[in-house]
Structure 1
Amino acid sequence: MRDFGGIVERSPVRVVRPRSADEVARAVREAAAQGLDAVPRGLGHSTYGQSLTGGVSIDLRELTGVEVGAGHAVGAGHAVAAAGTSWREVLAATLPHGLAPPVLTDYLDVTVGGTISAGGIGGTSHVHGVQAGNVLALDVVVDGEPVVCSPAVRPGLFDAVRAGLGRHGVITRATLPLVAAPERVLCCTIPCRDAEDVLRVQRDVTADDMSAQVKPSEDGDGWTYEAKAVLHGDKAEPPPGTTEVEELSYFDFCDRLRPDVEELIRLGEWARPHPWAMVFLPASRAAEVIEATLADMTTAALGLSGVILIKALRVGHVPMLAVPDDPVLFSVLRTASPGCASVADMLAANRTLLDRARAVGGTRYAVDSVPA
């Protein structure tokens, strides 16, 4: 069995596919009685075996469903989603009510339980924080028993399971806040000179969704930088420096990666190993680490479909997600394409980036691919 990273392979003793919290609890108790680890798994989008085990794999993809609206006890401003539900399915349930989760991952086909267990970062994380910080309550199986936790009920457990990678309990259901969803958004592209300019734009431009990408230059001899500022509402004005504007429905914006993913699947790139490096850097030192990393990189070290992202964010109270003050997420999302750098070379480059990040007070995002 492999995860999305396609690098680490493990064979579980048993795979369990529960459809209820009670079935999850039974699987955890049986694993413990046999001295086996029980590791929850959603869509397996980790990149270095974090969702794999040699014990019992608890496949949560059949534990799905979303309740939303005034008919639910928590009210119209909340949704209750089973852990194996994808964010695409959550959005499909909430948008008819004119509502959406405050933070969505760029790629919607990952699960609620998976991203809350990892942290969960999206374009709105500079405003709302991470997905693990936007949870009202969780149903969790801990020590083989289903319990409920929240900031007021078992707060220690609540803090341990959010961004806890499933080590302290198996999330089976999450109560999520919702915010008003716009009908349309304005996507504005702002070219930047360098990493410092990217961080300036992300700091100074007011936008509902903010991200940035680094791309190989046209001559293949360097890198170009661009920020993406997304404004909600059809009367928004593009910020200074905008060179390209695109208006989209809110759903089409949220689902913007789907055509790219379908093309990568067609080309075979989606199935190749993905040695991803993701580090949190203190904003005061982020530009120097980013520039130093890119100075050492070639496009072959990124892969044919690799992506480099820069994202300033806030986290909020998520104790298990270790980040420096004023964090910037720098992501080098490599793909081991034919004719490009080898997986081993990409992993070595990831280790170099992590060492460089730690030297300035940075940390790693624990679903990345960095060899021990």
Structure 2
Amino acid sequence: MPNVQRDNASCDFGRLSTRPPRSVVRPSSVAEISALFREPAPQGALDALPLPRGCGHSSRGESLTDGIAIDMRGLATIHEVTDDRVVVDAGATWREVLAATLAYQRMPPVLTDYLDLTVGGTLSAAGIGGASHIHGTQAANVMELEAVTHAGQIVTCSPTRRSRLFDALRSGMGRQGVITKASLRLIEAPERVLSYRALYDSAAELIAAQGRLVADHISGQAKSSDFELKAVLYDAGGAPPEGLSPIDVEELTFTDFADRLSPDVEKLIELGEWGLPHPWGQVILPAARAAAVIEQTMAETTSADLGFGGVVLVKRFTPGSVPMLGAPSDAVLFALLRTASPGCRAVSEMLLANDRLYQRAAAVGGVPYPPRPLSN
């Protein structure tokens, strides 16, 4: 059995609830995780399965348990990098993975905007990034998984081997077993990129542009008075995407582009915003119905509803073959990344606004993101 310790695993990034675990375990081997599922619970303990936890960046308490919390950061080895794949432990962060693959001029096809998340964590949610309109979610780019089942078995699965378990683990929110290792697809990495920015008057125009533009990375934000699109080309010598009328362009090294959120995060930490509650509301909508939901929601959303560090994301994408995500084939991520800043709406009011968003999404065939986990 691994060493048992207590840490701050009683809360997550959302800070909306507190759920102290009975114990926190940081395993250094897959065998130790297997042993956790085979050990009987102590007498009088709640009957909760051990739950994996990466960097605790969930926003609705998904990584919290009153049983055993498994700190996956003890398993963070990059095992192998080849031309077409990288094999990594689930507790490795995407920052660590990218550093290893860039040494070979390779990269995962889809990266999270924020790199300090674990591989196992985002694969358990699906993992949507700026390149998901081309490559699907991060979970759609997994070639093979190693996992520990709830019976304590250590197994390997893929699209052709134990495919039902493979599908259950990807976007399964850690409730279908514990991902311990992943073989991830790689593509060629650029050295420099060109980032173009354009503005649109409506959500419908933004979503339409995201669907027709040819670019390696596409993202969007809803601002107070307009909608902003960023289209990035992995070729610093390229022309603007056809049909785009950019208001400015920026050339960056790929490493600076991939880590573009770090300065913002450092500022939010300095201002104390990073440690505040984050009542995020995120849904995946059918592209054909998304604009109406977005426009209706934004019409009733003020700066006080978002908080000082709040951001609204709009991203059209193709999920790929990830059944547990439950997303339409042509989808739009609509995410209100709220912060309960001093002087802004109370957490309870932000959560009520999220409930209205979830109801609107469900009415048009949308789903929450990350998926609602099954009871542990």
The answer to whether TM tops 0.5 is: yes
State the Cα distance separating 1:234 from its structure 2 match: 1.5
Amino acid at match of 1:43: C
What corresponds to 1:139 in structure 2?
A: 146
The separation in 1 between residues aligned to 2:372 and 2:194, in whole angstroms, is: 31
The separation in 2 between residues aligned to 1:319 and 1:31, in whole angstroms, is: 32
Q: CA RMSD in A?
A: 1.4
Aligned-pair identity (%): 52
Candidates 20, 23, 28, aligned match of 1:14: 23
Amino acid at match of 2:222: V
The superposition leaves residues 201-260 of structure 1 with CA deviations (integer Å, 9 ceiling, x where unpaired) of 1011111000001122xxxxxx32110000011211123311110000111100000010
Amino acid at match of 1:206: V
What corresponds to 2:5 in structure 1?
A: none
What corresponds to 1:57 in structure 2?
A: 69
The superposition leaves residues 71-124 of structure 1 with CA deviations (integer Å, 9 ceiling, x where unpaired) of xxxx43210110100000000000010000000000000000000011101000
8 Å contact from structure 1 (residues 87, 104) kept in 2 = yes
Candidates 77, 80, 86, aligned match of 2:93: 86
Amino acid at match of 2:339: T
Work out whether 1:109 is the aligned partner of 2:113. Answer: no
Moved over 6 A (4+): none
The superposition leaves residues 43-84 of structure 1 with CA deviations (integer Å, 9 ceiling, x where unpaired) of 011101100000110111111111333xxxxx4321011010
After superposition, the Cα gap between the structure-2 partners of 1:56 and 1:366, relative to the gap in structure 1 and judged at 3 Å, is same
The separation in 1 between residues aligned to 2:157 and 2:105, in whole angstroms, is: 28
Candidates 293, 297, 304, aligned match of 1:293: 297
8 Å contact from structure 1 (residues 275, 368) kept in 2 = no
State how 1:177-196 maps to structure 2 within 5 Å: 177-196=185-204
State the Cα distance separating 1:190 from its structure 2 match: 0.8
Amino acid at match of 1:52: L
Q: With structure 2 as the length reference, what TM-score do the two structures score?
A: 0.93
Work out whether 1:279 is the aligned partner of 2:286. Answer: no
Work out whether 1:76 is the aligned partner of 2:102. Answer: no
The superposition leaves residues 281-300 of structure 1 with CA deviations (integer Å, 9 ceiling, x where unpaired) of 11111111000001111110
State the Cα distance separating 1:31 from its structure 2 match: 5.5
Candidates 53, 61, 86, aligned match of 1:41: 53
SS in 1 for 2:102: helix
8 Å contact from structure 2 (residues 192, 236) kept in 1 = yes
Work out whether 1:310 is the aligned partner of 2:314. Answer: yes
What corresponds to 1:334 in structure 2?
A: 338
Work out whether 1:249 is the aligned partner of 2:256. Answer: no
State the Cα distance separating 1:367 from its structure 2 match: 5.9
8 Å contact from structure 2 (residues 79, 89) kept in 1 = no
Amino acid at match of 1:76: D
Which deviates more from structure 2 when the two are superposed, residues 278-287 or residues 345-354?
278-287
Where in structure 1 are there 5+ consecutive unaligned residues?
70-74, 217-222
8 Å contact from structure 1 (residues 31, 38) kept in 2 = no
